[in-house]
Amino acid sequence: MPLLDMFLFSSLISAVDPVAVLAVFEEIQVDEILYIVVFGESLLNDAVTVVLYHMFESYTEMGLENIIYTDVLAGFANFFVVALGGTVIGIIWGFATGFVTRFTDEVRVIEPIFIFVMAYLAYLNAEIFHMSGILAITFCGITMKNYVEANISHKSHTTVKYAMKMLSSSSETIIFMFLGVATVNKNHAWNTWFVICTIVFCSVYRTLGVILLTAIANHFRIHQLEKVEKFVMSYGGLRGAVAFALVLLIDPKVVELQPMFMTTTIAVIYFTVFFQGITIKPLVKILNVKTAEKRKPTMNERIHERLMDHTMAAIEDIVGQHGNYHVRDRFKRFDNKFIRPYLIRNHQGQEPKILETYSKLAMRDAMEYMRRNASTIGNISGTESMSAIFKNYTAGNLNGRCAQNLIAW
């Protein structure tokens, strides 16, 4: 079996798609840290997989005998250029979206369209320049979250949120529909030992990779990943849409083993999705995986948490250590001084984080008051409605809680 063909297959079969695992996590309400780690790992894993796939695809077209050491070095350099280039392109398009949405306060109806179009243009722009489209659209979304959300209306935010969920579900359905069609295709080459070895090696090496990388990460993390969480991460390495899409892109004229690779990929997807995906829920319950706290932190706890963050940043400045708190504080100051004034409409300048936290919590409590007293609020209309709401709320719950928090302070 050709070496480059095996590298090509290894790059595509390493793409994980833990949709079923994340769905179980949402249903059971597991710890947020575990959810974020699994989601982030799968997201960046897909981006790295696509870059490696294109690199080995180019090597396969060149032929092993025509590859020299400069091609190998260029391939590794191209890996970092593609990843970094996709990230930069995504951030630039995110900034552009923030700047455009500054001027949409009179035409709110076009805000969701702008968001979807600009995100897709970020992906296309990255692909045109042979950069990572997945990383581009990912960091475009991260940038939009920070700057665009403050410009758009609540209705636009709701529209984007549920339209994104609809598109996500539709895309997953279409991909698995193609998977079902490909299963009954006649162009299959079944190799029992190759399928078994692929499933076993995928499980073993994912476990080893999780153990090694989490051991390194735990040296720099405050929240240590425990053995149960490591097991869930290892067991949740499902294969799905990305692996199937990449194996379909292989040219059978260049790679003669493409039919066997496609059959093996489908077998691995079925095994991981049906066996591991179905058994992950009872395993999570049996292992008593840590769940998220249902109790929301009080205003006093949130404000003290912010106070400790600022205190730690001040201590790092005093001792001359540039740690996480110092770096985050420097970026916040730079962001508020040079970026937000140009991307966010009606930016009022930097507000102390403690006061910002207090304002958000007070607004959240006011919204809860409105939901609890919907019948009373419905009898009032217009400006009088908002005045009555906040007058009643201020006279009741808010002053009482503020007094308690000031006493606790």
- Quick one: the chain helix, strand, coil %, rounded to 5? 80, 0, 20
- As a whole-number percent, the residues of the chain with pLDDT over 90 amount to 18
Q: Which of 219, 251, 286 is the last residue of a domain?
A: 286
pLDDT at 398: 45
Distance CA(182)–CA(244), nearest Å, equals: 10
**pLDDT given for residue 355 in this prediction:** 61
pLDDT band at 198 (very low <50, low <70, confident <90, very high): very high
Number of neighbours of residue 49 by Cβ within 10 angstroms = 21
Residue 18, pLDDT above cutoff 50: yes
Mean pLDDT of 275-285: 84
Q: What is the pLDDT of residues 243-273, one digit of tens each?
A: 888 888 888 888 888 889 999 999 999 898 8
Position 408 confidence tier, pLDDT thresholds 50, 70, 90: very low
Task: Tell me which of 401 and 371 has the higher pLDDT.
Answer: 371
Q: Is the same domain home to 315 and 213? A: no
Cα(first)–Cα(last) distance of the chain, in Å?
Answer: 70
Answer with the residue of higher pLDDT: 312 or 228: 228
- 153 near 111, Cβ under 8 Å? yes
Same domain, 166 and 105: yes
- The verdict on 79 and 104 lying in the same domain is yes
Residue 112 lies in a domain: yes
Sign, CA torsion 344/122/176/48? negative
Q: Is residue 291 one of the residues assigned to a domain? A: no
pLDDT exceeds 60 at position 397: no
314 within 8 A of 330, measured Cβ to Cβ: no
- Residues 154, 253 within the same domain: yes
Same domain assignment for residues 63 and 150: yes
Q: Does some domain include residue 192?
A: yes
Task: Give the per-residue pLDDT at 349.
Answer: 53
Whether residues 204 and 342 fall in one domain:
no
Q: Are residues 251 and 318 in the same domain?
A: no
Name the more confident of 379 and 3. Answer: 3
| % of the chain with per-residue pLDDT over 70 | 82
Of 54 and 314, the structure prediction assigns the larger pLDDT to: 54
Q: What digits encode the pLDDT tens for the residues 96-148? A: 999 999 898 888 889 999 999 999 999 999 989 988 888 899 899 999 998 99
Query: Is residue 387 over pLDDT 70?
Result: no
Please state, in angstroms and rounded to a whole number, the distance separating the CA atoms of residues 370 and 396. 13
Kindly report the average pLDDT of the chain as a whole number: 80
- Same domain, yes or no, for 370 and 303? yes
Full DSSP string of 87-132: HHHHHHHHHHHHHHGGG-TT-GGGHHHHHHHHHHHHHHHHHHTT--
Which of 245, 262, 286 is the last residue in one of the domains?
A: 286
Tens-digit pLDDT profile for residues 314-340? 777 777 776 676 677 788 888 888 888
Residue from 273, 50, 257 nearest 180 by CA: 273
Is residue 35 pLDDT above 80, yes or no? yes
Place of tokens 């060149």: 62
Number of H helices, E strands in the chain: 19, 0
Beta-carbon count within 10 A of 20 CB? 19
pLDDT at 92: 95
Q: What is the pLDDT of residue 221?
A: 78
Q: State residue 128's pLDDT score.
A: 92
30 beta partners: 291
Q: Are residues 137 and 164 in the same domain?
A: yes
Instruction: Find out whether 389 and 370 touch, Cβ atoms under 8 Å.
Output: yes
State the average pLDDT over residues 69-84: 84
Count of domains for the chain: 2
CA distances (Å), 127 to each of 133, 134, 193, 361, in order? 6, 9, 37, 42
Q: How confident is the model at residue 403 (pLDDT cuts 50, 70, 90)?
A: very low
Residue span of the structural domain in which 217 resides: 3-286
pLDDT of residue 385: 45
pLDDT(178) > 90: no
What is the band of 95 on the pLDDT scale with cuts at 50, 70, 90? very high
pLDDT of residue 383: 44
**293 domain residue, yes or no:** no
Mean pLDDT value of segment 191-209: 92
Band of pLDDT at residue 377, cut at 50, 70 and 90: low
Residue 299: its pLDDT value, please? 65
Same domain, 243 and 370: no
Query: Which residue from 97, 94, 88, 86 is spatially nearest to 44, judged by alpha carbons?
Result: 86
Of 264, 286, 308, at which residue does a domain stop? 286
Mean pLDDT of 336-355: 72
Query: What pLDDT does residue 375 have?
Result: 62
Considering the domain boundaries, does residue 294 fall inside one?
no
Question: Is the same domain home to 107 and 183?
Answer: yes
Residue 292 lies in a domain: no
Q: Are residues 137 and 201 in the same domain?
A: yes
Q: Which amino acid is located at 76 in the chain? A: F
Give the Cα separation of 146 and 129 in Å (integer).
Answer: 26
